[in-house]
Structure formats: C-alpha cells, structure tokens
C-alpha cells in the first residue's frame, strides 16, 4: 500500500504542475545548467521571455520525433523572443553531437536529470512552457500527433499576452 500512496502523491504533484489554457501560479525556482557550448546559464537568464522546455534524450524514439518540432518552434518563434531548450535527461549518448548531426540549433542543456527531477518529470519526452512571467503555463507528457499543435497554440497565446505578435501562419 505504501507504493500506491507514493504513486498517488507523485500524481498529485504532477497535477499541480499541469496547466491548461487558464494558466497557473506555479513558478519554478531558478536553476543553473551548463549548455552545449560549456557556458553556465540559469533559468533567470530568460526572464521576460516565453520558454519552451523539452525534457528528452537521444535514445528515445518519441523524443527524436519531437526534436523536429522543437527546431520548427525555434525557427518560427525564436525571433520573437521565445527560448526553446532541450533538457537532456537520463542520457546515454551525446546530446550536443546528436543535435549537431541533425542540424538542430535550439538550446541544449546537458546533464539535466536533476532539473527533470525538480519538475517531477519521470518520462520523456515531457514539455513545459513558461510564460514571460516565469510561471508554468502548460505541461504535457509524451509526444502525440496533437502535441506540436498544442504547444504552438500555447506559445502563441503567451506571446499575445506579453504583447508580442505571433506568426499567424506558423505551421506545427
């Protein structure tokens, strides 16, 4: 029964982070990471920006499918101040090399397992969107056909809220 209680508690914690169109008041604490170029960065470096975080790794097939969409988001929304970041978690390979081999140019955080735990991520891919106020506005696990469309809508909504104009013709 103790395992069930822990699982139920974990589910409850996950639901606290799960946000829909109404947004939420959860603001993650600041954290530091080393990016693929070896620079130490922190979440607060992106204050005032919409941030899309994808928790993934190189050996996960759905994560690889999601990477193409993350690159598309970077290309479409990056010029509008959106920061797209891959947090490499439970990694067996080299995320920097994998991204370079595929031509992906969005940010990658290496050794992000502790950050994934902070966000209560227990499966990849998981996506979290932070509004320009730094609060979690959306979270989803897995990668389905509808995931790119949902992420795009959330980002467009956040850009509109923050006063920036989203590309009306963004295809996701």
Query: Tell me: the pLDDT tens digits for 25-60?
Result: 467 778 877 666 778 888 889 989 999 999 999 999
Helices 147-161 and 61-77 sit at what angle, rounded to 10 degrees?
30
Query: Tell me: the pLDDT tens digits for 81-139?
Result: 999 999 998 988 888 889 889 999 888 888 888 889 988 999 999 999 999 999 999 99
Return the CATH architecture of domain 2-161: 3-Layer(aba) Sandwich (3.40)
List the chain domain ranges: 2-161
Answer whether residue 150 shows pLDDT above 50. Answer: yes
Give the dihedral sign, CA 52/20/15/150. negative
Average pLDDT over residues 12-25: 40
Other beta carbons within 10 Å of 56 = 30
Q: Report how far residue 133's alpha carbon sits from residue 143's, in angstroms, rounded to the nearest whole number.
A: 26
Alpha carbon distances (Å) from 73 to 80, 86, 138, 170: 11, 12, 16, 9
């Amino acid at each position: 029964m103790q395992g069930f209680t822990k699982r139920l508690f974990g589910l409850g914690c996950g639901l606290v982070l799960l946000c829909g169109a109404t947004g939420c008041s959860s603001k993650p604490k600041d954290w530091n990471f080393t990016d693929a170029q070896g620079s130490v960065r922190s979440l607060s470096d992106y204050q005032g920006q919409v941030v899309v975080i994808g928790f993934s790794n190189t050996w996960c097939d759905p994560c690889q499918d999601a990477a193409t969409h993350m690159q598309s988001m970077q290309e479409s929304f990056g010029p509008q101040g959106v920061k797209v970041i891959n947090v490499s978690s439970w990694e067996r390979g080299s995320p920097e090399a994998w991204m370079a081999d595929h031509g992906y140019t969005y940010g990658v955080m290496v050794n992000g397992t502790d950050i994934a735990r902070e966000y209560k991520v227990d499966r990849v891919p998981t996506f979290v969107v932070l509004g320009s106020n730094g609060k979690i506005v959306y979270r989803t696990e897995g990668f389905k056909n509808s995931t790119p469309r949902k992420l795009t809508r959330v980002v467009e909504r956040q850009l509109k809220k923050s006063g920036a104009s989203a590309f009306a013709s963004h295809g996701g």
